[in-house]
Amino acid sequence: MISPRTRELRPAYGFDEVAIVPGDVTVNPELTDVSFAVGSFTFSHPVLAADLDAVVDPRFAVAFHQFGGLAVMNLEGIQTRYQDPEEALTEILAASDAEATAIIQKVYSAPIRPDLIGERIRYIKERGAVCAVSATPASTKRLAPLAVDAGADIFVVKATVTTARHISRSVRGLILAELCEQLRAPVLVGNTVTYGATKELMETGIAGVLVGVGPGAICTTREVVGVGVPQVTATMDCAAARDEHYRQTGRYIPIITDGGMRTGGDVCKALVAGADAVMLGSIFAGTAETPGRGYSWGMSTPHSQLPRGTRIHVRVNTTLERLLFGPTSRTDGTENLVGAIHTAMGVCGAQTVQEFHEAELVVAPSIKTEGKKYQLAREQT
């Protein structure tokens, strides 16, 4: 009789289950360098704004650039389907919770207009901002040349899961190596959570990898299809692939942890886990500068057959400047995210983000509750 195959589960960790260990040397926070580079572009901090229609429109992209960061605009969203996106936004925001997904699906059924792609990109470029845009793999061959011809600086290929090898009915699907050669812009690709997939993606010539499947506040992928890996473990595995690729080729490909972070502490843990930068979405939806007026929804929410996202209401509660740099009177880590990075790097003795990667992480399931009896009691009242 053949014995049944034994399968072992390995533990995987999210932000609430780990803690950063302080270093043996400390550094003044103002002496730390938190800049982030992709391709020939360098940004003053490692926080990117995600390609959510409720967050990034051309005006927000310009404002985010002025604060030293990179915002990504969705080429398959309402900005490229409607001459006046405000009408579409109003319809989505006015829907009841029960009707929201159906309304979003209807709004996104309008065709993408190539003329609007050029118009939105030119708006960003004419105001001196770096322009990054995204599309799904299925639309990339059609939209990427239009975007780059219009002036887009960085192109992001983004789906729930993207791999270098893909099986389909198409005779010639999207070949990332060819895309990187053809475009006159760095190509970022996501999303992934494993060592093998990340290493194969890097071997195609891309300029960066987005890490994360299902962790975002607006994403329901983990509920709908059961797929995902907690972000700390996913980041560490993908960072290991980056480091091995660098050892083999001398080419350093940054990884960007995408989603699942609510506080400055979460952002710092992602960086220590190996991320070169982080991409945030719904936390920005609470700023006064975003088009969603305190609402947020995901790129997979409009899917006509299997929505994997939901609309949430975070409410407008801050400004972009306070969220990134303070000053703040909040004590929960939801403002001055860049300041949190500088401070955490200082207590770990790291002067660069790459040095921050060397800080130690420990498994600490009690990190948010140990000694916090009175805080927890206050939160429950």
pLDDT band of residue 171 (cuts 50, 70, 90) is low
Neighbours of 252 (CB within 10 A): 13
Tell me which residue has tokens 């990075």.
Answer: 341
- Cα atoms in the Cβ-side hemisphere of radius 13 Å centred on 374: 0
DSSP annotation of 352 reads B
Question: pLDDT-derived band of residue 370, with 50, 70 and 90 as boundaries?
Answer: confident
Q: Which residues contact 317 (CB under 8 A, 6 or more apart)?
A: 286, 294
| pLDDT on residue 381 | 65
Average pLDDT across the chain, whole number: 95
In 3D space, the residue among 255, 207, 259, 280 whose CA is nearest the CA of residue 353 turns out to be 255
pLDDT of 4 above 90:
no
Where do runs of H (alpha helix) occur along the chain?
A: 58-66, 85-94, 100-107, 114-126, 137-150, 176-182, 195-202, 221-224, 231-249, 264-272, 320-325, 337-347, 353-356, 373-380
The C-alpha angle 197, 202, 206, rounded to 5 degrees, equals 125
pLDDT per position as a tens digit, 223-239 = 999 999 999 999 999 99
CATH 3.20.20.70 describes domain 41-318: yes
Banded model confidence at residue 373, pLDDT cuts 50, 70, 90: confident
- CB-based contact 78:108 (threshold 8 Å): yes
Query: Which residue(s) pair with 179 in the sheet?
Result: none
- Domains of the chain by residue range: 41-318
Two structure tokens written together for 124:
């960003």
Each residue's pLDDT tens digit, 49-66:
999 999 999 999 999 999
Residue 188: strand pairing partners: 156, 208
- Whether residue 1 has pLDDT greater than 60: no
Percent of the chain at pLDDT exceeding 70:
97
Alpha helices per DSSP H over 225-352: 231-249, 264-272, 320-325, 337-347
* pLDDT tens, position by position, 281-301: 999 999 999 999 999 998 889
> Among positive and negative, which fits the CA dihedral 155, 321, 285, 60?
negative
Of 245, 215, 242, the closest CA to residue 229 belongs to 215
